[in-house]
Amino acid sequence: MRFHFSPKTPLFSLSSSSITSLCLRPFLPSAPKSPFYPSLACHVSTGGNLRMDSTSPDPSSSSSVSVDSVADGLKNQSLREHDISNNNNMNNENKKNNGKLSLEDLNWDHSFVRELPGDPRSDSIPRQVFHACYTKVLPSAEVENPKLVAWSDSVADLLDLDPKEFERPDFPLKFSGASPLAGAVPYAQCYGGHQFGTWAGQLGDGRAITLGEIMNSKLERWELQLKGAGKTPYSRFADGLAVLRSSIREYLCSEAMHFLGIPTTRALCLVTTGKFVTRDMFYDGNPKDEPGAVVCRVSQSFLRFGSFQIHASRGGEDLGIVRSLADYAIRHHFPHIENMSKSESLSFSTGDNDQSVVDLTSNKYAAWTVEIAERTASLVARWQGVGFTHGVLNTDNMSILGLTIDYGPFGFLDAFDPSYTPNVTDLPGRRYCFANQPDIGLWNIAQFASTLMTANLISDQEANYAMERYGTKFMDDYQAILSQKLGLQKYNKQLVNKLLSNLAVDKVDYTNFFRALSNIKADPSIPGDELLVPLKAVLLDIGKERKEAWTSWVQSYIQELVASGISDEERKASMNSVNPKYVLRNYLCQSAIDAAEMGDFEEVRRLLKVMERPYDEQPRMEKYARLPPAWAYRPGVCMLSCSS
């Protein structure tokens, strides 16, 4: 499949139908005419086959490495079918603290390994793994007096885990992977992906090991995963470990994004291993030893676009795995789609031709694809709203649940720069820069849709409809978000475009500007020389010409506010509820990392507490809303590599 994005049309001038003006060439991102909104145009060719140009070597002929008795016990553990109703009628003696559980009493389920094909081998020798969705493998990171240094009570609550369990002496051993967790069946997932637009073949969990799924008292399924727990068959030439700096960043950002209201994976805890890991942070031939760590990630599923791509790329019998995996995902994570009926009449026209109709009730896979597209579009719109740049939007880093996943070289905008990328590897083409994220989201959806076409699960018409829905959903959500950030009841394209242009020209801090904007009064009688007083703290070092440009914009903005008829007090409260005062700026992360590498984790914990209330004023915490200091622009702070 080949795809192309046209950079010629500013996003908000697109109609939903224009998303289908599509041609087929490899995506090579170029600077959009509008520096803020890339165009959204993509198409799947009729009857095409997925071509990823990867060749897979034969499976290793070497015999499986023998494993210790713990591995044997896990390998032979019965994966019985769980009767959920019985599991929820646990004996009272197994519960404590108002229904909260000990680690031993967590309600494990293992649907992924029970219902999907697995690797017959259980060793961690790097190799191509065929005809399997996972490999059972034990955590193997070496530890020396591991320590629990940060934890989340709110994530523990999702699991019905008693927060007192964090105080257990053996907790660091269990969540570094050094000691088995009762009931867990560890495995690493097999997946592939497009990296920077090029098919990379098999990737997989190279340093993440899933322990299993927890069913909580609300019948919610939560997957626990240790990142940095050791080698797997998917580690390739790497060591399967993670360093403290990257683990702190992932731990803090996954929680910060949750409290911003953005769908994300979560983090239960962070454990230091007591061992050092060698890393070349900038890939410049200067490696150094860094403290090792393991973060426990939590998500309802870690399935990615690449989880399906790898099997479609191999063709043949593996196309059946794509269907099985889709059935599994729908059954456990999209059950409403499984239960759709014809009476819902979810039929949509895809063009002027009356024959061009997509009936989502006649094909659950089409309905599923559309929902994934819309979830992804909504997620990206929310990123754009808070100025978040993911940095590595490869298809293996795209969640089918529409979650932010895999925090590497991410960054929140400081000075507004649409071309900002926090990833040094992305610098040559800035494929994953802030302004390109909407287009990249669509490109990734196109790859996912073509995967399902290859497996004969959806038609090209259904694939194109899913991409059309992505464009429509993104524009609807983003326009609504911008209107809320401005305190307006309806979207004003001209006002928004002029604002974003001004922000870029004067490199205004994105977060602080919108927070300060709520101080503008809806009073057209304010003298012109006083209009910018509420924005004085964010409009820094601007000359006369730029002051005039901003004054003109504020005058237009006040006219919109007056027309809305909302009181200043009500609008300010509403705007402050969507415009955070605090975001996890990279320099804040680095300050916490610097202290942690010296053995002081108080700043990590303090920073997490601030990020748990991003929309509140939080007196005495104002320093966490300050502009980045000069040192924040050094390499390794404002921009990072994928090294972890």
What backbone phi and psi angles, to 5 degrees, belong to 336?
-65, -30
Contacts for 638 with CB less than 8 Å, ≥ 6 apart: 411, 414, 422, 586, 587, 628, 632
Which helix (H) or strand (E) segment holds residue 359: the answer is: strand 357-359
Angle at 300 between CA 303 and CA 264, to 5 degrees: 85
Q: Which two tokens stand for residue 192?
A: 């592939």
Cβ atoms of 16 and 479 closer than 8 Å: no
Which residue pairs from 312-316 have beta carbons closer than 8 angstroms and sit at least 24 positions apart in sequence?
312/50, 312/451, 312/452, 312/454, 312/455, 313/50, 313/52, 313/54, 313/192, 313/199, 313/201, 314/56, 314/130, 315/454
Largest CA distance in the chain: 83
Residue 617 has pLDDT above 90, yes or no: yes
Helix axis angle for 364-386 and 460-486, nearest 10°, is 30
- Tens of pLDDT along 25-64? 233 333 333 434 445 656 554 443 333 333 333 333 333 3
Over range 542-566, report the average pLDDT: 96
Q: pLDDT digits over 153-186, tens only?
A: 999 999 999 999 999 999 999 999 999 999 999 9
Tens-place pLDDT, residues 256-271: 999 999 999 999 999 9
The set of catalytic residues is 396
- pLDDT for res 68: 35
Q: Tell me, what's the pLDDT at 426?
A: 87
CA distance 286 to 182: 41
Supply φ then ψ for residue 279, to 5 degrees. Answer: -140, 140
Q: Are 446 and 194 in contact (CB under 8 A)?
A: no
Residue partners of 39: CB distance under 8 A and separation at least 6? 5, 6, 7, 8, 9, 10, 11, 14, 32, 439
Q: So what's the pLDDT on residue 341?
A: 63
One-letter identity of residue 600: D
Mean pLDDT of 415-442: 94
**3-state secondary structure (DSSP) of residue 411:** strand
Least confident of 51-65, 143-157, 208-222, 584-598: 51-65
Confidence check: pLDDT of 297 > 70: yes
Question: How confident is the model at residue 161, as a pLDDT?
Answer: 98
Which pLDDT score, from 0 to 100, does residue 279 have?
84
pLDDT at 343 over 60: no
Reply yes or no on whether the pLDDT at 12 is more than 70.
no
Task: Find where tokens 């032979």 sit.
Answer: 76
Which conformational region is residue 400 in: left (phi greater than 0), alpha (psi within -120 to 50 degrees), or beta?
alpha
Please say if the pLDDT value at position 443 is more than 60: yes
Q: List all residues 6 or more positions away from 177 whose beta carbon is below 8 Å from its beta carbon.
A: 138, 139, 140, 141, 143, 186, 209, 226, 229, 230, 294
Check whether 398 has a pLDDT greater than 60.
yes
Short-list 394, 395, 392, 397, CA closest to 424: 392
Q: How far apart are CA 43 and CA 471, in angstroms?
A: 12
- Phi/psi region, residue 599 (left: phi>0; alpha: psi -120 to 50; beta: rest), is left
In angstroms, what CA-CA distances link 25 with 209, 443, 471, 613?
37, 12, 19, 45
Residue type, 87: N
278 CB-side CA count, 13 A: 5
Note the pTM of the prediction, 2 decimals.
0.87
Give the three-class secondary structure for 278.
strand
How far is the C-alpha of 65 from the C-alpha of 122, rounded, in Å?
A: 8
Taking only the tens place, the pLDDT of each residue in 488-508 is 999 999 999 999 999 999 999
pLDDT higher than threshold 60 for residue 191: yes
Residue 10 pLDDT greater than 50, yes or no: no
* pLDDT value at residue 284: 65
How much is the average pLDDT of 557-572?
A: 96
237-242-243 Cα angle (round to 5): 125
Q: Is the dihedral of CA 538, 255, 432, 640 positive or negative?
A: positive
H/E run at residue 273: strand 266-279
The SS3 call for residue 348 is strand
Helix H segments across 291-318?
A: 305-314
List C-alpha distances in Å: 131 to 118, 134, 311, 318: 8, 9, 8, 6
pLDDT band at residue 346 under the 50/70/90 scheme: low
CA 577 vs CA 91, 123, 511: distances in Å: 43, 50, 13
Assign 70 a pLDDT band (cuts: 50, 70, 90): very low
On the CB side of 64, CA atoms within 13 Å amount to 15
pLDDT at residue 359 in the model: 86
Least confident stretch, 94-98, 454-458, 515-519: 94-98
Neighbours of 290 (CB within 10 A): 20
Mean pLDDT over each residue of the chain, to the nearest integer: 86
**Residue for token pair 């197994």:** 94
pLDDT tens profile 356-375? 678 888 999 999 999 999 99
- pLDDT for res 14: 33
Nearest to 91 by CA among 80, 109, 107: 107
With 80 as the cut, is the pLDDT of residue 205 above it?
yes
pLDDT at position 641, please? 63
CB atoms < 10 A from the CB of 405, how many?
Answer: 23
410-420 average pLDDT score: 96
Give the residue carrying structure tokens 């949750």: 258
Judged by average pLDDT, the poorest of 2-16, 243-257, 611-625 is 2-16
Q: CB 478: neighbour CB atoms within 10 A? A: 24
Return the DSSP state at 39: -
| Cα–Cα distance for residue pair 410/63, rounded to 1 Å | 40
